[in-house]
Structure 1
Amino acid sequence: MPAMPVLHDSTAAREIDRQATLALGGDGYVLMQRAGMAAWRVLLQRWPQAQRVLVACGSGNNGGDGYVLARLALQSGRRVRVVHPADGGPRTPLAQRACTEYVAIGGHVDVFPAGLDDADVIVDALFGIGLAQAPRDGTAALIQALNDTGAPVFSLDVPSGIDADRGSAPGAAIHAQCTLQFIVAHAGLHTGAALDHAGELLLDPLEVDATRYEGSAPAAAALLAAPALRAWLPRRRRDTHKGQSGRVLCVGGDHGGGGAIVLCAEASLRGGAGLASVATRAGHVPAIVARCPEVMARAVEGTGEFAPMLEAAGVVACGPGLGQDEWGGALFRRVLASGRPLVLDADALNLLATASHALPVPADAILTPHPGEAARLLGIDTAIVQRDRFAALARLVDRYACTVVLKGAGTLVGAPGQVPCVLAAGNPGMATGGMGDLLTGTIAAMRAQGLPAFEAACAGALLHGLAGDAAAAHGGQRGLMPSDLLPWLRHFANPGDE
Structure 2
Amino acid sequence: MTANPYPRALYTVEQVRALDHRAIDTLGIGGFTLMQRAAAAAFASLRRHWPQARRVLVCCGPGNNGGDGYLIAAQARATGFAVEVIELAAEARGDAARAREACLVAGVAPCPWREGAALPAADVLVDALYGTGLSRPPQPAVAALIERINASGLPVLAVDVPSGIDADTGRRPGVAVQADITTSFIAAKRGLYTGHAPSHTGVVELDELDLPEALWREQPVDAHLLAPATLPPRARDAHKGDNGHVLAVGGDHGTAGAIRLCGEAALRAGAGLVSVATRPEQLVALNSARPELMAHAVNGPQALEPLLGRASVLAVGPGLGQGAWGHALWLTALDSGKPLVLDADGLNLLAREPRRFEQPAVLTPHPGEAARLLGGSVTEVQADRFAAARALAARYGAVVVLKGAGSLIADPDGRLDVCPWGNPGMAAGGMGDLLTGIVAALLGQGCTPWEAACLGVGLHARAGDAAAREGERGLMPSDLLAPLRRLLNGLPT
Using structure 2 for the length normalisation, give the TM-score: 0.96
Rounded to whole Å, the distance in 2 between the matches of 1:414 and 1:133 is 26
Rounded to whole Å, the distance in 1 between the matches of 2:428 and 2:59 is 39
Rounded to whole Å, the distance in 1 between the matches of 2:216 and 2:107 is 40
1:342-394 deviation digits (Å, cap 9, x = unpaired)? 1000010111110xx23344342111011111111112121221222112112
1:25-83 deviation digits (Å, cap 9, x = unpaired)? 25111111111111111111111222221111111111111111110011112111111
Q: Residues 265 and 441 of structure 1 are in contact (CA less than 8 Å); yes or no, is this contact kept in structure 2?
A: yes
* Ranges in structure 2 where 5+ consecutive residues have no aligned partner: 1-5
Q: Give the aligned partner of residue 224 of structure 2.
A: 222
Q: Residues 300 and 306 of structure 1 are in contact (CA less than 8 Å); yes or no, is this contact kept in structure 2?
A: yes
Following superposition, the deviation at residue 286 of structure 1 comes to 1.6
SS at match of 1:343: strand
SS at match of 2:422: coil
Q: Give the aligned partner of residue 30 of structure 2.
A: 27
SS at match of 1:179: strand
Q: Residues 356 and 397 of structure 2 are in contact (CA less than 8 Å); yes or no, is this contact kept in structure 1?
A: no
Q: Does 1:493 align with 2:488?
A: yes
Which residue of 429, 436, 439 corresponds with 1:440? 436
Rounded to whole Å, the distance in 1 between the matches of 2:99 and 2:7 is 36
Rounded to whole Å, the distance in 2 between the matches of 1:71 and 1:470 is 42
Q: Give the aligned partner of residue 328 of structure 2.
A: 330
Q: Give the aligned partner of residue 286 of structure 2.
A: 288
Percent identity between matched residues is 51
* Ranges in structure 1 where 5+ consecutive residues have no aligned partner: none
Q: Residues 336 and 360 of structure 1 are in contact (CA less than 8 Å); yes or no, is this contact kept in structure 2?
A: no
Q: Residues 184 and 207 of structure 2 are in contact (CA less than 8 Å); yes or no, is this contact kept in structure 1?
A: yes
Rounded to whole Å, the distance in 2 between the matches of 1:211 and 1:320 is 48
Which residue of 324, 346, 371 corresponds with 2:367? 371
Q: Give the aligned partner of residue 424 of structure 2.
A: 428
Which residue of 409, 412, 417 corresponds with 1:416? 412
Rounded to whole Å, the distance in 2 between the matches of 1:4 and 1:240 is 36
Following superposition, the deviation at residue 24 of structure 1 comes to 4.2
Following superposition, the deviation at residue 106 of structure 1 comes to 1.7
Q: Give the aligned partner of residue 358 of structure 1.
A: 354
Amino acid at match of 2:246: V
Amino acid at match of 2:133: G
Q: Give the aligned partner of residue 377 of structure 2.
A: 381
SS at match of 1:429: helix
Amino acid at match of 2:96: A
SS at match of 1:353: helix
Following superposition, the deviation at residue 214 of structure 1 comes to 4.0
SS at match of 2:80: coil
Matched residue pairs, number? 486
Amino acid at match of 1:407: K
Q: Give the aligned partner of residue 389 of structure 2.
A: 393
Q: Give the aligned partner of residue 36 of structure 1.
A: 39
Q: Residues 58 and 90 of structure 1 are in contact (CA less than 8 Å); yes or no, is this contact kept in structure 2?
A: no
Amino acid at match of 2:487: F
Q: 1:432 to 1:92 in 2, by over 3 A?
A: same
Rounded to whole Å, the distance in 1 between the matches of 2:124 and 2:200 is 16
Which residue of 124, 132, 143 corresponds with 1:121? 124
Q: Does 1:152 align with 2:155?
A: yes
Following superposition, the deviation at residue 496 of structure 1 comes to 7.3
Rounded to whole Å, the distance in 2 between the matches of 1:361 and 1:460 is 20
1:400-443 deviation digits (Å, cap 9, x = unpaired)? 12110011111111011142111111111111111110100000
Following superposition, the deviation at residue 116 of structure 1 comes to 2.5
Following superposition, the deviation at residue 292 of structure 1 comes to 1.0
Q: 1:209 to 1:262 in 2, by over 3 A?
A: farther
Rounded to whole Å, the distance in 1 between the matches of 2:121 and 2:184 is 26
Single out whichever of 327-336 and 128-137 deviates more from structure 2.
128-137
Amino acid at match of 2:223: A
Rounded to whole Å, the distance in 2 between the matches of 1:25 and 1:390 is 33
1:177-212 deviation digits (Å, cap 9, x = unpaired)? 110011111111111111111111111111124564
Which residue of 252, 267, 270 corresponds with 2:268? 270
SS at match of 2:409: strand
Which residue of 302, 305, 312 corresponds with 1:304? 302
Q: Does 1:96 align with 2:97?
A: yes
Q: 1:4 to 1:155 in 2, by over 3 A?
A: closer
Amino acid at match of 2:36: Q
Using structure 1 for the length normalisation, give the TM-score: 0.95
SS at match of 1:73: helix
Q: Residues 182 and 204 of structure 1 are in contact (CA less than 8 Å); yes or no, is this contact kept in structure 2?
A: yes
Amino acid at match of 1:151: L
Rounded to whole Å, the distance in 2 between the matches of 1:398 and 1:92 is 44
1:216-250 deviation digits (Å, cap 9, x = unpaired)? x3222111132xx14xx011111111111111000
Rounded to whole Å, the distance in 2 between the matches of 1:497 and 1:25 is 47
